[in-house]
């Protein structure tokens, strides 16, 4: 049974859940994800594993309530059980020792950055994290990041904390004389696309962790297909991380809007507004 | 029923299976073939010649005792007929509906040489439905086997019959399934209008009642590796992970919105139940759908698209005679108003600026010399390109073996993704067996079951040999 041990509201929209999942906790690696269904009528949705404790037999995930399924997930309480949870899925993130690593995250992607940044640091890198939020109050997991990285810089859209602007503008302002050896980015598609075009200029190898629509998560439907370097790849089994300079972000953005109309209908018909403050 | 044997009458016409009127099939998952009514059963069973040398039994990959069960039916003993089938198969309700009888038992049926073959499939199905209605076959108290632990990976027909055989031999059997529902293709691929889920689930429940343990949401290779299963005390592993990797067409526009693989389309509708209002999983079915392909997946996708309100065409690069789907499904599709465009193939898909499909370019084909499959190979006719307006395209052009487990288990020898086995069904790893679509590539339910049965026998022999030798490691097992 995948019972919720801990629930923390990080922002009005973002919730952290710690869930029992002993086998996933034993085998997960940074960059892996799980597929869950919060109710027996739900879609299957992927969520990145943010942390795992093999001893305790639990994993942690962070969910942003933006559609019906994520709202239902965010509305779960401590003690509730998640009917379906499968994983760990996908390939782990590429973690190498290159000296200096930049980890870039936006929105809920900041949470997903946490395990990857930690892995780079354990591998002997100096890790800088550049994270974005709309305003100071919406910054998440600040302590966790501070512990997992050597330095964390924040950008806020309204300038209420840290740099005034978005993460890409902060990256430009921050760029050290010797650029980092590797960059890992996770967040909204426009952010990842902008990071990729900047770091292409910088000439720095960059990986992006993609978030296409998924169903099974085991390579059996092709719904998660993305184009990388002109080739079709199944993100759930070959990814979710790919060379950011080769990803067709425009296609990914279009495909992720395939059901936008239906999602809007579902969201509006859904009575549960919990978590939306 | 009396003691007097009813008289055989092979010349009676083969009974036609009653079907739901074509007009009533729109937007419903209701089963199309409703099955024989009582009067037909007697007539059909009495058509059987009761051959001394029943070639149908040889032709059935499971060698079901067809002669015996039909004889019981002819004598009015339907419950006895069901019992007879159940001695050999856990899936009479499933196979009675989806097995390609015309390729096996009914093809061999002697009566078919001059007249129409006995409708063996429909009779099998009747027994299962009869037993179900009578409340039989629910499996009594939950059995608790105590033998060695065996892990079966995947819950398709190959694993399910292996579970059936092994649990009856006293082994403790656990089935591990990646998805949240059991049944493999029977659950995610085949639509409920061909195989109602109550039938499937009841036959699976019977296995649970016999003591088979099921673990859903468990992806072997990810949730636990094969080595870990051995370390947890499983003494043999069977891999029945199927051929779930969809092939893509490799033409421009394939990633436009509204282009699905048959697997995605069918999974959204069958497994995730997108056809029900209450389900949160959406599917996009436009005004005009083109389904590419000629197998069971193509028929199933086309018939769903039609049911969900789309004007539907099946585009197939060969002719009607080369369709690979069950004949009954082709006929039902035709009744339902699905158009077939033979001897044509897709070349490119077009979309609008938001990425939604708007059109399909095709080219006409002619049949040339036979290819490796023995079927005439389609050859494009130069200059015959044409375009159609569509908003949904479903590619049902075949599947390869599911790669997840192989990727996590490099010791497993494969050939173009298919797991390689020896004559006993064992893979390159000792104690690890495989069968069904993951070995054959896309195949059929009954051949997957044949493999599952053979593997169960091989596992039994291997474990017994191991016990007899008193050795448990580092030895060759039965050939
Ligand atoms: C749409 C469609 C319609 C069909 N119609 C017919 C028909 O009418 N008649 C007929 O005879 N045949 C039909 N077939 C073919 C038939 O369904 C297959 O040949 C048969 O199901 C193969 O059985 P299997 O047990 O080998 O695997 P499958 O039925 O494919 O089952 C494999 C299972 O293993 C699971 N799995 C995969 N990897 C893992 C893993 N690593 N860990 C745990 N679980 C895993 C999968 O999720 C799946 O549930 C059809 C096929 C399709 C796709
Ligand atoms: S989600 Fe189905 S193949 Fe990736």
Listed by start position, the domains of chain B span: 22-133, 149-244+400-476, 248-397
Cα separation of B15 and B38, whole Å? 11
Fold of A100-256: Rossmann fold (3.40.50)
What whole-number distance in Å separates Cα of residue A34 and Cα of residue A50? 10
**Residue to probe by mutation, ligand 2, list A89, A210, A217, A238, most atoms within 8 Å of CB:** A217
Say how far apart CA A29 and CA B38 lie, in whole Å: 59
Residue B25 to residue B32: CA distance in whole angstroms: 7
- The predicted pLDDT at position B137 comes to 55
Note whether B279 and B413 are within 8 A (CB).
no
pLDDT of residue A275: 39
Tokens (6 digits) for A71: 């709202």
What is d(CA A260, CA B355) in angstroms, rounded to the nearest whole number?
13
User: Above pLDDT 70, what percent of chain B?
Assistant: 95
* Distance, CA of B402 to CA of A231 (rounded, Å): 20
pLDDT in tens, chain A (277 residues): 799 999 999 999 999 999 999 999 999 999 999 999 999 999 999 999 999 999 999 999 999 999 999 999 999 999 999 999 999 999 999 999 999 999 999 989 999 899 999 999 999 999 999 999 999 999 999 999 999 999 999 999 999 999 999 999 999 999 999 999 999 999 999 999 999 999 999 999 999 999 999 999 999 999 999 999 999 999 999 999 999 999 999 999 999 999 988 777 766 766 554 433 3
Q: Are B192 and B300 in contact (CB under 8 A)?
A: no
C-alpha to C-alpha distance for B414 and B249, rounded to whole angstroms: 24
pLDDT digits (tens, 9 = 90+) for A138-183: 999 999 999 999 999 999 999 999 999 999 999 999 999 999 999 9
B72-100: b or e for each residue (b if 16 or more CB lie within 10 Å)? bbbbbbbeebbbbbbebbbbbbbbbbbbb
pLDDT at residue B477 in the model: 39
Q: Which two tokens stand for residue B97?
A: 């509906």
Residue of A nearest to B265 (CA): A221
Chain A residue numbers touching B396 (CB-CB < 8 A): none
- Buried b / exposed e over B359-374, threshold 16 CB at 10 Å, is bbbbbbbebeeeeeee
Question: Which ranges of chain B have pLDDT less than 50?
Answer: 1-2, 472-479
Collect all residues of chain B within an 8 Å Cβ-Cβ radius of residue A215. 264, 267-268, 272, 281
Chain A: nearest CA to B391, how far in angstroms?
13
Look at residue A155 and give its three-state secondary structure.
Answer: strand
Alpha carbon separation from B169 to B118, B140, B147, B172, B433 (Å, rounded): 33, 17, 8, 9, 17
Interface test with A, best of B155, B188, B217 (most A CBs within 10 A): B217
pLDDT digits (tens, 9 = 90+) for B64-74: 999 999 999 99
Q: pLDDT tens across A243-252, in order?
A: 999 999 999 9
Verify whether the Cβ–Cβ distance B263 to A220 is below 8 Å.
yes
CA B37 to CA B45: how far, in whole Å?
13
Q: Which amino acid residue places its CA nearest to atom 3 of ligand 2?
A: A219
| DSSP designation for B383 | T
Q: What is the C-alpha to C-alpha distance for residues B349 and A221, in angstroms, rounded to an integer?
A: 19
Residue B49 CB coordination number (10 Å): 14
Ligand 1 atom nearest the C-alpha of B408 is: 41
Contact A218 B178 (CB under 8 A): yes
Which candidate in B243, B255, B266, B286 is best for mutational testing of the A interface (most A CBs within 10 A)? B255
CA angle B131, B136, B141 (to 5 degrees): 155
Question: How far does B420 lie from chain A, in Å, by closest CA?
Answer: 21
3-class DSSP string for A96-124: CCCCEEEEEEECCHHHHHHHHHHHHHHCC
Instruction: State residue B457 phi and psi, 5-degree precision.
Output: -60, -45
Give dist(CA A140, CA A133) in Å, integer.
8
Which pLDDT belongs to residue B138? Answer: 54
Query: Domain B248-397 classified CATH 3.40.50.720?
Result: no
Ligand 1 atom index nearest CA of B435: 26
Q: How far from chain centre, in Å, is Cα A257?
A: 18
Is this complex's ipTM strictly greater than 0.85? yes
Q: What is the dihedral of CA B132, B138, B139, B142, to 10 degrees?
A: 170
Domain ranges of chain A: 2-89, 100-256
**Residue A277 class from Cβ within 10 Å (0-12 exposed, 13-18 middle, 19+ buried)?**
exposed
The whole-number pLDDT of residue B479 equals 31
Cα–Cα distance measured from residue B407 to residue B221, given in angstroms and rounded to the nearest whole number:
8
Q: How far is A216 from A44, CA to CA, in rounded Å? A: 7
d(CA B429, CA B138): 37
Q: Count Cβ neighbours within 10 Å for each residue of B116-126 and write b for 16 or more, e otherwise.
A: ebbbbbbbbbb
- Which pLDDT belongs to residue A263? 73
Q: How far apart are CA B331 and CA B316, in angstroms?
A: 16
H/E stretch holding B352 reads none
From atom 35 of ligand 1, which residue's Cα is the shortest distance away?
Answer: B154
Report CB contact under 8 Å: A237, B403: yes
| Contact partners, residue B382, CB within 8 Å, separation at least 6 | none
**Spatial contact of A63 and A70, defined as CB atoms under 8 Å apart:** yes
CA-to-CA distance for B312 and B314, rounded, in angstroms? Answer: 7
Closest residue (by CA) to atom 2 of ligand 2? A221
CATH superfamily entry for domain B149-244+400-476: FAD/NAD(P)-binding domain (3.50.50.60)
Quote the CA–CA distance of B470 and A238 in Å, as a whole number.
Answer: 43
CA distance A23 to A86: 10
Tell which CATH architecture fits domain A2-89.
Beta Barrel (2.40)
- One DSSP character per residue, B427-475 reads -SSTTEEE-THHHHSS--HHHHHHHHHHHHHHHHHHHHHHHHHT--SS-
Ranges of beta strands (E only) in A182-249 are 182-186, 206-209, 225-228, 231-234, 241-243
| Separation of CA A44 and ligand 1 centre (Å) | 20
* Segment B436-439 long-range contacts (CB within 8 Å, at least 24 positions apart): B436/B154, B436/B156, B436/B157, B436/B158, B436/B159, B436/B240, B436/B242, B437/B156, B437/B158, B437/B185, B437/B242, B437/B243, B437/B399, B437/B401, B438/B154, B438/B239, B438/B240, B438/B241, B438/B242, B438/B243, B438/B401, B438/B402, B439/B401
What burial letters (b/e) apply to A90-115, b meaning 16+ CB within 10 Å? bbebebeebebbbbbbbbbbbbbbbb
In the block, residue with structure tokens 């997930």: A73
Instruction: Report the C-alpha gap between A195 and A48 in whole angstroms.
Output: 20
The pTM score is 0.94
Pick one of 1.10.1060.10, 1.10.1510.10, 3.30.1490.20, 3.20.190.10 as the CATH number of B22-133.
1.10.1060.10
A80: CB partners within 8 A, 6+ apart:
A3, A4
Nearest to B261 among A84, A221, A251 (CB): A221
Which residues are within 8 A (CB) of A251 and not within 5 positions of it... i.e. 6 or more apart?
A: A226, A227, B255, B355
DSSP designation for B15 = P
Helices (H), B14-153: 38-47, 55-59, 66-74, 78-88, 92-98, 105-108, 111-114, 120-133
């Amino acid at each position: 049974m995948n019972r919720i041990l801990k629930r923390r509201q990080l922002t009005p929209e973002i919730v952290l859940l710690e869930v029992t999942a002993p086998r996933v906790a034993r085998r997960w690696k940074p960059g892996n994800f799980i597929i869950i269904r919060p109710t027996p009528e739900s879609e299957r949705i992927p969520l990145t594993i943010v942390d795992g404790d093999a001893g305790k037999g639990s994993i942690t995930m962070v969910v942003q309530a933006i559609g019906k399924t994520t709202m239902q997930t965010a509305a779960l309480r401590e003690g509730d059980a998640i009917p379906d949870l499968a994983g760990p899925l996908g390939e782990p993130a590429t973690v190498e020792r290159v000296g200096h690593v930049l980890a870039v995250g936006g929105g809920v992607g900041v949470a997903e950055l946490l395990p990857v940044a930690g892995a780079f640091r354990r591998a002997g890198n100096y890790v800088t994290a550049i994270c974005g939020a709309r305003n100071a109050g919406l910054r998440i997991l600040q302590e966790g990041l501070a512990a997992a990285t050597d330095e964390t810089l924040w950008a806020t859209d309204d300038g209420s904390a840290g740099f005034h602007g978005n993460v890409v503008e902060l990256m430009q302002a921050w760029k050290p004389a010797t650029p980092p050896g590797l960059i890992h980015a996770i967040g909204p598609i426009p952010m990842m696309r902008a990071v990729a075009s900047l770091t292409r200029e910088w000439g720095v190898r960059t990986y992006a962790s993609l978030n296409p629509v998924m169903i099974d998560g085991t390579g059996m439907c092709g719904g998660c297909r993305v184009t990388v370097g002109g080739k079709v790849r199944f993100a759930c089994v070959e990814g979710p991380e790919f060379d950011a300079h080769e990803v067709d972000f425009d296609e990914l953005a279009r495909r992720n809007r395939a059901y936008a109309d239906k999602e809007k209908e579902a969201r509006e018909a859904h009575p549960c507004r919990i978590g939306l403050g | 029923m009396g003691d007097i044997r009813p008289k055989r009458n092979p010349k009676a016409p083969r009974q036609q299976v009653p079907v739901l009127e074509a007009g009533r099939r729109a937007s419903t998952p209701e089963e199309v073939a409703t099955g024989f009514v009582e009067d037909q059963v007697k007539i059909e069973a009495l058509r059987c010649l009761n051959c001394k040398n029943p070639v149908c039994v040889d032709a059935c990959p499971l060698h079901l005792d067809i002669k015996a069960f039909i004889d019981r039916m002819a004598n009015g003993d339907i419950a006895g007929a069901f019992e007879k089938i159940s001695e050999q198969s856990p899936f009479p309700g499933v196979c009675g509906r989806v097995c390609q009888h015309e390729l096996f038992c009914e093809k061999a049926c002697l009566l078919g040489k001059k007249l129409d073959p006995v409708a063996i499939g429909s009779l099998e199905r009747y027994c299962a439905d009869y037993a179900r209605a009578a409340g039989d076959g629910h499996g009594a108290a939950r059995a608790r086997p105590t033998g060695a632990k065996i892990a079966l990976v995947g819950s398709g027909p190959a694993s399910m019959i292996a579970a059936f055989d092994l649990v009856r031999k006293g082994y403790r059997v656990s089935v591990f399934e990646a998805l949240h529902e059991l049944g493999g293709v029977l659950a995610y691929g085949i639509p409920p209008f061909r195989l109602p889920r109550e039938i499937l689930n009841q036959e699976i429940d019977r296995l649970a009642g016999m003591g088979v343990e099921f673990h859903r949401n468990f992806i072997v290779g990810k949730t636990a590796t094969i080595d870990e299963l051995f370390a947890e005390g499983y003494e043999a592993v069977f891999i029945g992970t199927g051929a779930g990797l969809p092939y893509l067409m490799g033409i421009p526009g394939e990633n436009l919105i509204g282009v699905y693989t048959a697997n995605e389309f069918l999974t959204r509708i069958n497994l995730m139940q997108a056809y029900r209002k209450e389900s949160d999983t959406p599917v996009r079915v436009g005004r005009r759908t083109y389904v590419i392909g000629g197998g069971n997946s193509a028929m199933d996708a086309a018939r769903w698209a039609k049911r969900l309100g789309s004007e539907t065409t099946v585009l197939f690069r060969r002719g009607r005679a080369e369709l690979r789907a069950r004949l009954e499904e082709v006929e039902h599709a035709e009744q339902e108003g699905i158009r077939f465009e033979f001897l044509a193939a897709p070349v490119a898909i077009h979309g609008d600026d938001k990425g939604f499909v708007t059109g399909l370019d095709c080219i006409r084909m002619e049949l040339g010399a036979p290819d490796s499959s023995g079927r005439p190979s389609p050859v494009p006719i130069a200059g015959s390109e044409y375009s159609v307006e569509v908003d949904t395209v479903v590619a049902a052009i075949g599947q390869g073996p599911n790669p997840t487990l192989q990727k996590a288990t490099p010791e497993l020898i494969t050939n173009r993704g298919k797991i390689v086995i020896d004559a006993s069904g064992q893979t390159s790893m000792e104690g690890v067996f495989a069968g069904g679509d993951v070995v054959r590539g896309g195949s059929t339910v009954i051949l997957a079951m044949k493999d599952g049965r053979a593997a169960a026998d091989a596992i039994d022999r291997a474990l017994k040999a191991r016990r007899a030798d008193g050795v448990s490691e580092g030895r060759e097992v039965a050939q």
